[in-house]
Structure 1
Amino acid sequence: MSLCLGTSESSKKAEKRKFMLKNGKFLLQKLIASCNGDYNPIQNFTAQELKAATNNYDPEKVITKDLLYKLYKGFLQDRPISVMKFGGNLNSEEYCCFNCIAFASQMSHKNILKFVGCCLETELPILVFEFVACGTLADRIHDPNGSQLEPFLMKHRLKVAMEIANAVAYLHVGFSRPIVFRDIKPSTILFQEQNVAKFFDFCVAISIPEGKTHVNDNNKVIGTYGFIAPEYISTANCNEKSDVYSFGAFLLELLTGKRISYSSCFENGEEYFLQELVMKSIESNSFKEIVDPIIVGEEGLWPEKEKQLLSYTQLAIKCLSKSGQDRPTMVQVAKQLRQLHKSI
């Protein structure tokens, strides 16, 4: 019996060593390719530590989940953490996992979830981030009745929009090679506290090569339906203006509480996507009907408040221009949102 246990233990150690060598080599290649020689210390965790920290990945500890991963609440070394565990399907998740580490480890911004470290001794690395407690922005705006938090008013939404705009602008101008996030949407924004937003999930982020104006990822178009810029769909070329388009769609979801793919039938039987519904409501002077009822509130839309919301909506529509050249930069978007936030 002792011989069997020894053999089993030896086999487990050999497997961990194999994964650490493979993952370490792949991660090093990713970091060299994306970090421009900058030193990014990454803390190492053991698989056993993270298993214990999450109570063996208890489903009750899931903060949010995607097709590729789940993010868990955890507690390790006397501090709360967040643990990102991929499902183990190497074909679809290996690239995203290492991509997330490579980019997240470069980030230093108050509204981007801080990357702490990872575990390399499992088939796919397990990632560790700072703690978040209050779910995603998608939870707040699409399921307000399920939240135990205070009503998500326009002043809160503008604060979040402004801070996330600052974070995206940081990706575009804060590095020697601009980083395109490629999947800006409410579910990639977490809340550390009630209204403290943190941008998250660099699984599909990509850098624009030096001296180039766009990047083509082997003719693949990556993103979420309704948030993908039309020129990216038609050419597979993306750049910073692709993110601006996604951000415009995000702004509309934040304003209306509806999903960007939301559609509604009118008398003539036609269906309209959210962007079209918003524009139609402005043209027909029925703007109030499309705004999230939580924003309108009991006091309704007085003239000054409606003017502010229209300015916000016009910015979103400008970001959603069909041509990338007609869209503002994220720096310009952040500046305008900051002015709107001050006015409220």
Structure 2
Amino acid sequence: MDGIKRRAPLFSLSSILIDHPQIMYSCLGAIKNSGKEDKEKCIMRNGKNLLENLISSFNGKRKPILSFSAEELKIATNNYDLQRVKTQGFVYQLYNAFLHGRPVSVMKFQNNDKYDAYEWCLKNIVFASQMSHSNILMLIGCCLETQIPVLVFESVSSGILANYIHGPRPSHFEPFLLTHRLKIAMEIANALAYLHVGFPRPIVFKNIKLSSILFDEDHVAKLFDFSLAESIPDGETHIKDAIPIGIMGFVATEYVTTGDYNEKCDVFSFGVLLLVLLTGQKLYSIDEAGDRHWLLNRVKKHIECNTFDEIVDPVIREELCIQSSEKDKQVQAFVELAVKCVSESAEDRPTMIDVAKQLRQAYRFGW
């Protein structure tokens, strides 16, 4: 925690909030009903109840997260200056901030008519506090003085993947070469594999998108935003949503049609991410008649016609002209892996462990 003032931890979260959902929703209700109370009462009630429940079940294996005041975070973000917004989701904005001499990221939630920011905030606390992986954005602390807690993460000073692909690009931007894209794919695959196999119950991310992949000052890719994440219950093979939610174009067909979601749905979304990395194109284009043409369908058509090179990102095509033999093999294998990941049949998709292994091999040794 270099640069962050040492203080007593707010609490040390672990899997208990997932294993004991009544605790999470008790806290959720307390936060929701705090609008008419002053700050001190909100802190006393929410913090006391949360701390008591966590201490009673604490297994000693999770790292503590720190407590910050609302005023500290207001100053750190220059009163939540919109010029400091790094990325945003359905119910939050992530700000570049400077807290006690250290750059950090501040995640501030806001309710809207469609989504419950309270629940999504708690999901981010529950899941992010359990993570110990170099490719998952680290949670540092939070503030309970506000109706919806405000979260503090490590800094992501080098931008988001969406900017690298679609712009506006970060300053001092270098050509986005195939090696860079392989590295990002490998790092995010490692993070997803960790979620799927690194816990007693698999965690499905459910939220793979360009704005959920951020970069630290060393350009290490970081997976971010657990708003939709779920743990698959013991004895079950999937979770079921009455109303599927996600970014169209990234979500698997079986999830849209049945509401069933498991690890292979994350694999599908990751396959789409690979195709975006390879082509540099958006999930869909709109023709003059207003019809949408999805990237996945266009990719399949080009593969059938043996013309995939026509939609490969021009930066990669230029590389192919210089290092044709080696890069051609890499691109071909990259495409083949992506196609396996987006197979219509979930059974035909590889696991994220297998995907991560193949990408590590590709990045380190070539295909």
TM-score range relative to shorter protein: 0.7 to 0.9
- Quote the residue 1:74 is aligned against: 97
Change (3 A) 1:110 1:66: same
Aligned equivalents of 2:192 and 2:344: distance in 1? 20
Contact 2:159 2:170 in 1 (8 A): no
Contact 1:153 1:294 in 2 (8 A): yes
Aligned equivalents of 1:311 and 1:39: distance in 2? 39
- Quote the residue 2:340 is aligned against: 318
Letter in structure 2 aligned against 1:170: Y
- Quote the residue 2:306 is aligned against: 285
Letter in structure 1 aligned against 2:204: V
How big is the shift at 1:154? 0.5
Deviates more, 1:173-182 or 1:234-243: 234-243
Contact 2:177 2:316 in 1 (8 A): yes
Aligned equivalents of 1:174 and 1:39: distance in 2? 14
Aligned equivalents of 2:365 and 2:286: distance in 1? 32
- Quote the residue 2:295 is aligned against: 274
- Quote the residue 1:8 is aligned against: none
Letter in structure 1 aligned against 2:180: H
Aligned equivalents of 2:81 and 2:91: distance in 1? 17
How big is the shift at 1:41? 1.3
Aligned equivalents of 2:224 and 2:54: distance in 1? 18
Task: Write the mapping of 1:202-281 to structure 2, written as runs, cut at 5 A.
Answer: 202-217=226-241, 219-262=242-285, 272-281=293-302
Deviates more, 1:90-99 or 1:23-32: 23-32
Write the deviation string for residues 246-285 of structure 1: whole angstroms up to 9, x where unpaired.
Answer: 10111111111112223669xxx99742122222223333
Alignment equivalent of 1:57, drawn from 73, 80, 84 = 80
**What is the TM-score with the length of structure 1 in the denominator?**
0.87
How big is the shift at 1:105? 0.5
CA-atom RMSD, angstroms? Answer: 2.8
- Quote the residue 1:330 is aligned against: 352
Write the deviation string for residues 294-322 of structure 1: whole angstroms up to 9, x where unpaired.
Answer: 11226627133122111111111111111
Aligned equivalents of 2:61 and 2:132: distance in 1? 13
Aligned equivalents of 1:258 and 1:124: distance in 2? 36
How big is the shift at 1:140? 0.5
Give the match's secondary structure for 1:262.
Answer: strand
Question: Is residue 96 of structure 1 aligned with residue 117 of structure 2?
Answer: no
- Quote the residue 2:331 is aligned against: 309
Letter in structure 2 aligned against 1:97: C
- Quote the residue 1:111 is aligned against: 135
How big is the shift at 1:20? 2.5
Contact 1:160 1:197 in 2 (8 A): yes
Question: Is residue 135 of structure 1 aligned with residue 156 of structure 2?
Answer: no
Aligned equivalents of 2:143 and 2:162: distance in 1? 29
Aligned equivalents of 2:171 and 2:101: distance in 1? 27
Write the deviation string for residues 161-218 of structure 1: whole angstroms up to 9, x where unpaired.
Answer: 001000000000000010000011111000112631111111110000012111124x
- Quote the residue 2:222 is aligned against: 198
Identity of aligned residues (%): 55
- Quote the residue 1:169 is aligned against: 193
Letter in structure 1 aligned against 2:249: G
Contact 1:23 1:124 in 2 (8 A): no
- Quote the residue 1:83 is aligned against: 106
Deviates more, 1:290-299 or 1:157-166: 290-299
- Quote the residue 1:4 is aligned against: none
Aligned pair count reads 328
Write the deviation string for residues 216-269 of structure 1: whole angstroms up to 9, x where unpaired.
Answer: 24x13121111111111111111111100110111111111112223669xxx9
Letter in structure 1 aligned against 2:359: L
Give the match's secondary structure for 1:110.
Answer: coil
How big is the shift at 1:40? 4.0
Contact 1:64 1:136 in 2 (8 A): yes
Question: Is residue 157 of structure 1 aligned with residue 181 of structure 2?
Answer: yes
Aligned equivalents of 1:332 and 1:260: distance in 2? 25
Aligned equivalents of 1:70 and 1:283: distance in 2? 41
Change (3 A) 1:35 1:141: farther
How big is the shift at 1:15? 1.2
- Quote the residue 1:9 is aligned against: none
Contact 2:285 2:292 in 1 (8 A): no
Contact 1:27 1:102 in 2 (8 A): no
How big is the shift at 1:79? 1.1
Aligned equivalents of 2:199 and 2:48: distance in 1? 24
Question: Is residue 341 of structure 1 aligned with residue 363 of structure 2?
Answer: yes
Task: Write the mapping of 1:11-50 to structure 2, written as runs, cut at 5 A.
Answer: 15-21=38-44, 23-24=46-47, 38-50=61-73
How big is the shift at 1:13? 11
Change (3 A) 1:206 1:92: same
Contact 2:107 2:150 in 1 (8 A): yes
Contact 1:30 1:99 in 2 (8 A): no
